[in-house]
Chain A
Amino acid sequence: GAGVSQSPSNKVTEKGKDVELRCDPISGHTALYWYRQSLGQGLEFLIYFQGNSAPDKSGLPSDRFSAERTGGSVSTLTIQRTQQEDSAVYLCASSSSTTSPGPQETQYFGPGTRLLVL
């Protein structure tokens, strides 16, 4: 079946502009995650959505970052007033996990959006 898809695959923007990144999770997956992969910081967790629960935003680096998930499926990550340090690959993942403690369900990753802020 179809995997996680992300768009655009590449985005070049000017400092100070807003950008929106989109993620389509695997059909039926209730959990959705955003991560960021950058040279200086490695792979970092940003935000996690699980069903209709309040999202875990603990990884968002500043209030310029926000994300929403509409209808329990597609998610959009928005970065306002972009800065050069926001340049990175933004990865989306989905899984069928629940909030119950225990063995974690596998997270399946999309190909990422490569963001370059000039």
Chain B
Amino acid sequence: GDSVTQMEGPVTLSEEAFLTINCTYTATGYPSLFWYVQYPGEGLQLLLKATKADDKGSNKGFEATYRKETTSFHLEKGSVQVSDSAVYFCALARGGYNKLIFGAGTRLAVHP
């Protein structure tokens, strides 16, 4: 069945460090891919998405590129801030099947 695998956390970084959170997926067909973020005490928010191969989603300095050849959608940010501390979820949704399938989530802690 469809699945999403994320790197385990927590990831601890100093402010202004480079961030990569790995995400790979297994799915038939051509799923849409998403990164959601959950800030402390808040609900899930869409961070970015990509709907076809080689698309790059971007928002708030975060980027992720849909790589069909490696079935990956890694999240990157060039310079993290303390305010980026949150749990990040990679997810997929396959065309015609509208439910989101989530990875386990990766907790990011950024220290000053």
Does the CB pair A99–B96 fall under 8 Å?
yes
CA distance A108 to B45 in the complex (A): 7
- A43 contact from B51, B96, B98, B105, Cβ within 8 A: B105
Report chain A residues within 8 Å CB of B101.
45
Chain A residues lying within 8 Å of B49, measured Cβ to Cβ, are 106
- Judged by a CB distance under 8 angstroms, whether A1 is at the interface is no
* Cβ-based interface call for B46 (8 A): yes
Known: A43-B89, A104-B93. A97 touches B44 (CB 8 A): no
A80-98 vs B, CB cutoff 8 Å, 1 = contact: the mask equals 0000000000010101010
Asked if residues A104 and B98 are in contact (CB atoms below 8 Å), the reply is: yes
- Kindly specify which of A15-23, A67-75, A109-117 makes contact with the partner chain: A109-117
Residues of B within 8 A of A (CB): 32, 34, 36, 42-46, 49, 51-52, 89, 91, 93, 95-96, 98-105
Number of A-B contacts (CB under 8 A): 60
Q: Which of chain A's residues have a CB closer than 8 A to the CB of B34?
A: 106
Residues from chain B with a CB closer than 8 A to the CB of A58 are 99
Instruction: Assess whether A104 is in contact with B43, with CB atoms less than 8 Å apart.
Output: no
Contacts known (A43-B89, A103-B32, A104-B32); A109 close to B98, Cβ less than 8 A: no
Contact with B along A30-73 (1 / 0, CB 8 A): 01010100000011110010100000101100000000000000
Contact (Cβ within 8 A) B100 A50? no
Q: Find chain A residues with CB under 8 A from B42 CB.
A: 111
Query: Are B99 and A43 neighbours in the complex by a CB distance under 8 Å?
Result: no
Query: Across the interface, do B51 and A104 meet the contact criterion of CB distance under 8 Å?
Result: yes
Complex Cα–Cα for A102 and B99 (A): 13
The complex places the Cα of A109 from the Cα of B38 at a distance, in Å, of 11
Residue of B49, B51, B91, B98 with highest tally of chain A CB at under 10 A? B98
Q: A103-B52, A108-B46, A111-B43 are in contact. Are A97 and B96 (CB under 8 A)?
A: no
